[in-house]
C-alpha cells in the first residue's frame, strides 16, 4: 500500500462509520449468544461424560500429544490474527492479508488434525456418535467447534479473494476486524474444550 494512505484512515477504521459501528456491536452480541450456545453443549457434555455405555472411556481414548499440537496450532493462529488486526489498524493492507493467510492455514492444519482424530477414534476404537451418550456429546461438542473453524476458514478465504484488489477502506475494515474477533472466540472455546474434554477426561 502507498505509505501516504496511512493518513487517510482514522485510528479505529473498523468502527469509523455507523455501518461499521453497527457491525462491530452486533457481532459482539452474537458472540455473547454463541457463549450460551457452547455453554449448553459443555453442560450436556459434563452431564454425560461418564455415560460410556460399557464402551471405551475418555481416559483410554485420548492422546495428549495430539491435543497439545492441536492447541498450539490454534493458539498460534490467534496470535497471527492479532498481528493481522494490528496491521489493519495501521493500514498495512498487504501485511494484514499475509497474517490472515497464515491464520487460515493454521486453522486448516487444526481441522486436518481433528478429522484424523475422529476417523482414528471411529476405526480403531469403534467410538462413534451412536455408541454411547458420551460419544454423542463428545462428537457434537467438538464437532460444533470444528464446524466453526471450517466456517471461519471459508469466511476469511472469501474475504481475501473478494478484497485483494480493493485494499483497505472504511467499507472493508469492519469485515476483516469481525473475522478476527470470531477467530479469537473460536480459540476461547478451544481453551475450554482442551481443558474440560481432554484434560479432565485424562484425570478421570
Partner 1 sequence: MSAHAYKKKNPIWDWLTTVDHKKIGILYLASGAFFFLIGGLEAILLRVQLLYPEFNFVGAETFNQLLTMHGTTMIFLAAMPLIFGFMNAIIPLQIGARDVAFPFLNSLGFWLFSAGGILLNLGWFMGGAADAGWTGYAPLSTTSPGNGVDFYVLGLQVSGIGTLIGGINFLVTIINMRAPGMTFMRMPLFTWSSFITSGLILFAFPALTIGLALLMFDRLFGTQFFAAEAGGNPIIYEHLFWIFGHPEVYILVLPAFGMFSEIIATFARKRLFGYSAMVFATALIGFLGFMVWVHHMFTVGLGPIANSIFAVATMLIAVPTGVKIFNWLFTMWGGKVSFPTANLFAVGFIPSFVLGGMTGVMLSVPPADYQYHDSYFVVAHFHYVIVGGVVFGLFAGMYYWWPKIFGTMLNEVLGKLHFWLFFIGFHLTFFPMHFLGLMGMPRRVYTYLSGQSLDEANFAATIGAFLMGLATIIMVWNIIQTAVKGKKAGNDPWDGRTLEWAISSPAPEYNFAQTPLVRGLDAWWLEKRASNKAMVPAEPLDDIHMPDASILPFLLSLGFFIASLAAIFANWTIAIGGLGVVALAMILRSVIDYHGYHIHKEDLPDEGGEDK
Partner 2 sequence: MAHHEGTETLSEHDQSHLDIHHKIAHEKEFKQQIVSFAMMIFLTMIAFVAVASDAISDAFTVVFIMILAGIQLVFQLYMFMHLSHKGHQYPAWGIFFGVFVAATAVIALMGMIW
What are the residues binding partner 2 (CB under 8 A)? 6-7, 10-12, 15-18, 21, 24-25, 28-29, 31-36, 38-40, 42-44, 46-47, 64, 68, 71-72, 75-76, 78-79, 81-83, 86, 89-90, 181, 184-185, 187-188, 191-192, 194-196, 199-200, 202-204
Give the integer Cα–Cα distance in Å for 66 and 46: 22
Give the three cell numbers for residue 155: 469466511
Shortest separation between residue 166's beta carbon and partner 1, angstroms: 9
CA distances from 134 to 4, 111, 141 (A): 58, 22, 11
| Binding partner of 135, given partner 1, partner 2, none, CB within 5-8 angstroms per partner class | partner 1
Which of partner 2, partner 1, none does residue 129 bind to, with CB < 5 to 8 Å depending on kind?
Answer: partner 1
Contact present, 153 and 108 (Cβ < 8 Å): yes
Using CB under 8 A, which of 30, 83, 150, 192 touches partner 1? 30
Give the whole-angstrom CA distance, residue 110 versus residue 106: 6
CA atoms of 144 and 135, how far apart (whole Å): 14
57-65, 66-74, 78-86, 132-140 -> range binding partner 1 (CB under 8 A): 132-140
Tally of CB atoms within 10 A around 106: 22
Of 64-72, 76-84, 131-139, 193-201: span binding partner 1 (CB under 8 A): 131-139
CA–CA dist 36, 148 (Å, integer): 15
83 binds, among partner 2, partner 1, none (CB under 5 to 8 A by kind): partner 2
Amino acid at each position: 500500500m502507498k505509505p501516504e494512505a496511512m493518513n487517510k484512515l482514522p485510528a479505529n477504521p473498523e468502527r469509523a462509520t455507523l455501518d461499521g459501528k453497527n457491525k462491530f456491536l452486533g457481532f459482539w452480541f452474537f458472540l455473547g449468544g454463541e457463549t450460551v450456545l457452547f455453554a449448553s453443549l459443555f453442560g450436556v457434555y459434563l452431564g454425560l461424560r461418564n455415560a460410556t455405555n460399557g464402551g471405551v472411556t475418555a481416559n483410554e481414548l485420548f492422546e495428549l500429544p495430539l491435543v497439545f499440537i492441536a492447541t498450539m496450532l490454534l493458539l498460534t493462529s490467534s496470535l497471527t490474527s492479532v498481528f493481522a488486526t494490528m496491521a489493519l489498524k495501521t493500514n498495512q493492507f498487504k501485511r494484514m492479508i499475509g497474517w490472515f493467510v497464515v491464520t487460515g492455514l493454521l486453522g486448516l492444519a487444526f481441522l486436518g488434525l481433528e478429522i484424523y482424530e475422529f476417523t482414528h477414534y471411529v476405526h480403531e476404537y469403534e467410538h462413534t456418535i451412536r455408541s454411547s451418550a458420551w460419544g454423542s456429546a463428545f462428537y457434537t461438542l467438538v464437532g460444533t467447534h470444528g464446524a466453526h473453524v471450517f466456517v471461519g476458514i471459508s469466511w476469511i478465504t472469501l474475504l481475501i479473494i473478494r478484497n485483494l484488489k480493493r485494499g483497505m477502506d472504511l467499507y472493508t475494515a469492519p469485515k476483516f476486524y469481525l473475522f478476527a474477533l470470531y477467530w479469537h472466540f473460536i480459540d476461547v472455546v478451544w481453551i475450554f474444550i482442551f481443558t474440560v474434554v481432554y484434560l479432565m477426561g485424562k484425570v478421570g
